[in-house]
Structure formats: structure tokens, C-alpha cells
Amino acid sequence: MKALLKLLPAIVVFIASAVAQPPPAGLEEQPASFCIDPATTYQKIEGFGAGFFPQSLVAMSDLQPEERERMYDLLYTDKGVRLNILRLYISGNDEPLPEDDPLRSRGLKYNWPKQAYTRQLYQSLPPVFARAKPIIYAVPFTPPVRWKTDKARNWGGAFLPQHYRDYADYLADFLKYSRLEPKVNIDVLSLQNEPDVSAPWDSTRWTGEELRDFLKVLGATLRAEGLSTKLMVPESSTWDQTAIQSAPILRDPEARKYIGILAGHSYGWDDLVDRGRGLMRSTAARYGLPLWMSEMSILDRPEDPSIRTAMKIAHYMYRDFVEAGVSAWVYCLTITRTDPVLPGSLGLLAPPKNGTLAIPKRFWAFANYSRFVQPGWKRMRVEGLAFANTGFVSPQGDHFALVALNDAAHPRRASYDFGAWEPVDVETFRTSKDSDLAPVSGARVEGSTLRATLAPTSITTFVGRLRHAATPPHPCVAAGESDEPVAKP
């Protein structure tokens, strides 16, 4: 016994060492099993987008002409992310037109053509329209400073309520100018970018009650002008703030009738934000309103083109589609320069290098969703929590896209049971450290089951047709929903 006791520490060390070792070569873990039900669907997808802001226009000017054309192809065709939503910044610097200006006779009040950003913006859009017909949505970051308490563009400040009508006329004038002069119809108008934030860039603080009161003035103004642009609120910086600022607007029937879209930004990842996602999902459902995620980027470090940030972006997309039930997902900017005031990965495309495009991994991770999930598709039910999967199905129920995230540093096997449907003509696309939305082989279909091995630290999209089989639905897709998030990466 004494001899055994003397050997006990060595035995413990040996056992611990054995447990810590990876499985022998050729010995794989059991595949993770998931059930897919294309007949159970949730929100309809309206699309994917990114912003054309002043920083984007400056970055575009850094590109060689042929690289600029390539940029448009990557952003708005199936060579890249195939965006169908374009977010525009509304300048708060415009001054009234002179009384004798010819534009006055066309019903305009403000000098939009001479505002540098607005002029350059509309000059940059024809290549977009040659490739796509996007939903155009515009957002102000600050009203004209003459109507603010602090008379400053940045660091917040509040809006003076006595100028609600003036500002409603200002925004309506922008919509009319866009339609008349550059012939761009603004489909969606947001009241304010991040009304809960005081920032070192253009910003203004609004309470939910102030947004409610202004919405009623703006909504009535647009109707009187015959403008059918949808109005978006509140675009707060996090999901919990979005829930807080939406509440007084939605409680007021007069304000609520003007809401076209509820929207929030997806910054932050903690318990409050997580609860906000769920609250906004139930709120949007209660009032029958679409919910958009209207801005997100990674701000926790300088520009990061690696798979690390790409995996973060993919997880945010997964959680916003599943937990919040969003219909649209919009990245902060299409392309940007390095920003000393706001470091981070702000653009889908990284800052240009010597006049050429820099395409980060996050661009391709975004494309794992946006390239394949088309407007009008719906999110479908996916059961199983071993890792994150998001499924989408076409309106006719005959095509699908399934996005799978593997955070592990080793390959993981997955088995997807489609129950009463058979996946047909399945193609697989992977973004990883070594792949950029690359077509890969290895997935196999056995009846209604799709089996595949997910590469280490990767985003994989499976796409294909669906054929209804004669077999009954799999029992694991019984009534009720279980779309819970996986552990945070």
C-alpha cells in the first residue's frame, strides 16, 4: 500500500496527461446532429447592405480606375457579396437656396447640389445602378447645428423641439431633391443614427419620447408632400437601447402608424444586449413590423483582415438572424480609409493599399450569407446546438442555403437531417484561413441526410435544391421552436 501511495502522484500525472492528449490519428469524434425543417419558417429576408458615407468616397478616390470598377463588381454582383441595400448619409450642412435660384421653382428649399458630399455621393452611384437595383435608405447623423442646443455637429447635443417642423421640411426637401435631380428614389428614411450616443463625429442625442414627437411631425409632413418613403426608428447603438427607445414610440398609436421599419445596431455582446435581441424580436412580431440590423462593425482593435474578425462577424450575423429575427443585415461601410478617431474594421473592404483593393476575410464571411440568401427567402428551422447553423429557404421551398460556423481549431463532422425533404445538387463554399468563399468537395447526401466535415475555424455554406420525399417528417422537428444561441466564441 505504501508503495502504491508513493506511485499515486505519478499515476495522477500520467492520467491527466492522457486525458489532455488529442484522440489518435484516424479516431474522429461523433458527428454533431442537426434537424432541418424547411416547412417551418420565420422572418422574410429583405437583404444585405453597407454604407456609402464620406469615408467611403474618400477611400474610393484612392483606388486606381480599374480597381474602382472591380470594387463595384465585388459589392454589387455575384462576384462578391451581392449587396441589395445601400445606406446613405444625409448632410446636416445644407443652407437655404437663394430666393432667385431656379431650383426654387421646382419646389426645393435647400442647396443640395452645392453640398460637397451630396454631389460626390450621387456622382458615385451610377455604377451601382448599372449592376443592381438596391433598396436605398438614408440616415442623418445630425440636424443643422442652428437647430441644436449646443450649435455643434459632434459630441451629441440635443435638438430644439421648436424646430421639429423646420427639420421635417429639411428632410422632405432632401427626398424631393434626390427624386428630381439625380433621379434617385429614397426607399427608407431613418430619423437619426444612434440617438443614444454622444460621439466625436456628427451626432445628436434624442430620447425615445423626442423621437416619438418628431416622428409624428415628419410623418405628417411626408404625407402632405405625397412622399411614400418608409420611416425607420430608432437605430440605437445596441439592441437593449433599441428596445428602450422603441417603447414610447410604439405605445403611441399616432406615432406608430408612421413606422415602416424598426431597426437597431448590433454593437456589444453581453447579457443586456442579448436580452435586447429577444425583446426586439417579440416587439417586431407583436406590431407586425420588419426589424433590420442597420449597422455593425468590429471596433475592438485596429483594422483586422484576419479570420479572427471574420468569425466574429459571422457570429453576429447568426445571432441577429436567429435571436433578433432581423430581415436585413447592414455592415457599417462598403469601403473606408484607416480612421484615427475610430479605429477598427469599419468597411466590408479594407483600406486600399497603393491604389489597389484590400479584401479582408470578413468580406468573404459576409458573402457566405449574402451571396446565397436572396430577398424574399425565409429563415427556416434548424434544431441542434453543437455549433451555430443558420438555414434559409426559397419562397417556393425548392432551394436552400445553410451557413455553419466552426470555431474549433480542429475539423468537426456534422450531420443534417432534412426529414421529409431530400437535398439535391448540393454545393459547398468555405471561408477559412486558407479559403475565400472557395468551392470545396466532401459533402455527401444519403437520402434526406447531408453529411460534411467542417474545416477548422471556418464559415461553410451549403446550397442546393430541395425535393419533397415520401417519408414522414423527422420526429426531432416536432411543434415548437428551439433556436437558442450557442456559446459565445
Instruction: Check residue 25 and give its pLDDT.
Output: 44
User: Residues 9, 10, 13, 15: is their CA dihedral positive or negative?
Assistant: negative
Domains of the chain in sequence order: 28-42+379-477 (2.60.40.1180), 46-372 (3.20.20.80)
365: cell is 464571411
Map grid coordinates 443586456 to a residue: 272
pTM of the model: 0.91
pLDDT band at 478 (very low <50, low <70, confident <90, very high): low
Query: Is the pLDDT at 130 greater than 80, yes or no?
Result: yes
- Residues 257, 247: Cα–Cα separation, whole Å: 14
Amino acid at residue number 193: N
pLDDT band at 471 (very low <50, low <70, confident <90, very high): low
| Percentage of the chain modeled with pLDDT above 90 | 82
357: cell is 483593393
- The tens digit of pLDDT for each residue in 178-227 reads 999 899 999 999 999 999 999 989 999 999 999 999 999 999 999 999 99
Instruction: Check residue 487 and give its pLDDT.
Output: 37
328: cell is 436585413
pLDDT band at 485 (very low <50, low <70, confident <90, very high): very low
- Residues 136, 184: Cα–Cα separation, whole Å: 8
- The tens digit of pLDDT for each residue in 246-293 reads 999 999 999 999 999 999 999 987 777 788 999 999 999 999 999 999
Mean pLDDT to the nearest integer, 56-64: 95
- Residues 448, 462: Cα–Cα separation, whole Å: 14
432-462 b/e (C-beta count within 10 Å ≥ 16 → b): beebbbeebeebebeebbbebebbebbbbbb
Query: Is the pLDDT at 19 greater than 70, yes or no?
Result: no
The least confident of 135-139, 146-150, 151-155, 329-333 is 151-155
- The tens digit of pLDDT for each residue in 425-452 reads 999 999 999 999 999 998 999 999 999 9
Strand partners, 458: 406
Instruction: Check residue 340 and give its pLDDT.
Output: 78
255: phi then psi, degrees, rounded to nearest 5: -75, -40
Mean pLDDT to the nearest integer, 237-244: 96
Three-class DSSP labels, 394-427: CCCCCEEEEEEEECCCCCEEEEEECCCEEEEEEE
User: Residues 201, 237, 143, 349: is their CA dihedral positive or negative?
Assistant: positive
Contact yes or no for 66/99 (Cβ under 8 A): no
pLDDT band at 17 (very low <50, low <70, confident <90, very high): very low
Query: Is the pLDDT at 165 greater than 50, yes or no?
Result: yes
Instruction: Check residue 272 and give its pLDDT.
Output: 72
Q: How far apart are the first and last CA of the chain?
A: 47
- The tens digit of pLDDT for each residue in 63-83 reads 999 999 999 999 999 999 999
Mean pLDDT to the nearest integer, 112-132: 95
Rg of the Cα atoms in the chain: 25
